[in-house]
Each structure stands twice: as C-alpha cells, then as structure tokens.
Structure 1
Amino acid sequence: MAGDNSLISVRSRAVQNRPFTVVKKMQAEAEANYRNKIKELEDSLAETQRQLNELQQKKEKGQRFILSPEQQAALEEFRKKEADVKVKLKAERKRLRQDIDSLENRLKWFNIAAMPVLVSLSGLCLAFYKRKRTAAK
C-alpha cells in the first residue's frame, strides 16, 4: 500500500464504545435498591449455616449419628430457615434482573417508536396547517 503514514490511524480506528450513561445510572440505582436486601438475606443465610455447623460439632464422638429430640428440632428449624432464605434470595435476584430487563425493554421500545411517532405527528401538524391555510383563501 502506498500513502502517507499519518493516514494509518484513520484506517485502523478502534471500535468506539459509547454506553448509555443514563441507562447505566438507572441500572445502578435499581441494583442499589436490591443490594441491601440481598446482603441482608446472604448474612442471614451465613448465620443459619454457622449455627447449623455449631450444632453438628456439639455432638459427642460416640453420638455422631444420634441426635436428641431438641437437637433434631433445632436442626430441622435451621434447615427450614436456610431453605426459606435461599428462596427469598433467589426471588430478590430475579426481581432485580426483571427490573433491569424491564428498563432495557422500555428504552428499546422508546427508541424504536419515538422517531416514527414524532415524524407522524409533525406530518399531521403540517397537513392541518396547510389545510387551514388553503381553506382560508
């Protein structure tokens, strides 16, 4: 290839990444709303698992597989609590993902529909204006 070396930079331009800063900001706000709830649930889950491990370690070596009725009840309660927290955590994450997807879809539909609606409205306004002007003559 022939030509000036200063034109090489024009030929090999890098891909420009221009993110929607408003969308990123809205996503960050949505995540912040759910982050506290998710953190709370994760902490609760960790505490429940810690208590469950403590209960398992309290057993004597000879009674590894034998639990007293109160230990069985506590173990069952901890397992139910752990399962409940996992379900709530999954629901919160799903709700966060749905909010972000909803935001993306609203923006996408706005971008798809806004310009045709704007052009149609301006065309109708222009048609009414011309009709009004010609009717006055």
Structure 2
Amino acid sequence: MDKAFRNLATGCIAAVSTAAILLAAAGPSAAYGKDGILEVDEFGLFYNQYQSGCVFDLYGEDLNFNDNYFKSGCTGGTSLVNDNTESYKNRDVYAWKVATDANMDGNVGEIPSNYQGNASSTFKNTISSSTYTLHA
C-alpha cells in the first residue's frame, strides 16, 4: 500500500506541475477583455465619439451591459456601459454585432473586422449588448 500511495502522490505532483505550466502559458490571453485596454482580437466600445474617452473592451460576447462599468482614469470612467457608448473599434478578425437591448434584442447592427467609426443616431448611447460572429 505504501508503494501505491507513493505512485499516486508522484502522479498528482506531475499533474499539478503540468497544470501550472499550462496556466502560465495562457497568462496573457486570460487578461483579455474588460480591462480598459483595447488589444488585438478585441472589440471596443468608446464613451465618446472618434474612439476617445474610456473604452469597454470585449474578447467574448456580453449580452447585458447593465452590470458593466468603464474603468476609472479616463473620460467616462466609472460610468455604466449600457446606453453610454458613442463610437467603436473592432480589432478582432471576426465581425461583431451590437444591439440596442439586452440579449441582442432591439435594433441590431454589425461592425466588420478591423473597422472603426462613430455610432449612428440609431445606436449612439443606446447599445446594450454585443456578440461576435463566426465569419471574418
């Protein structure tokens, strides 16, 4: 039984070491999204026009902005993201859709990959959710 326990302990140590290496390798990508820094492979909604002020950066979909706030330290900082965005920039390889209501309801628009601009009158300060599409 002592030998079996030792083999089990050795196997557990190897598994934990492998998991630690994998987590360390995934470190930078785990920081993507909602950190106030628009990075490659992200979609950003800006507090002001012309991609200025605070940015709400997304790596994955968010179907309800009502519990998201812009990061402090910039124009619009600590404001609720829901219904508070005037421009956008898509640094993702995929197109992104935005909607004027939660859960992608209401008016829906699509922002192509690597495109930026000001929100139209339909979407200015009314965006409440977004998701990426599966086409580039």
Query: Taking CA–CA contacts closer than 8 Å with sequence separation of 6 or more, which of the two structures ends up with the larger relative contact order?
Result: 1
TM-score (norm 2): 0.29
Please identify which structure carries the higher strand content.
2
TM-score (norm 1): 0.29
Please identify which structure carries the higher helix content.
1
Task: Decide which structure has the larger Cα Rg and report it.
Answer: 1
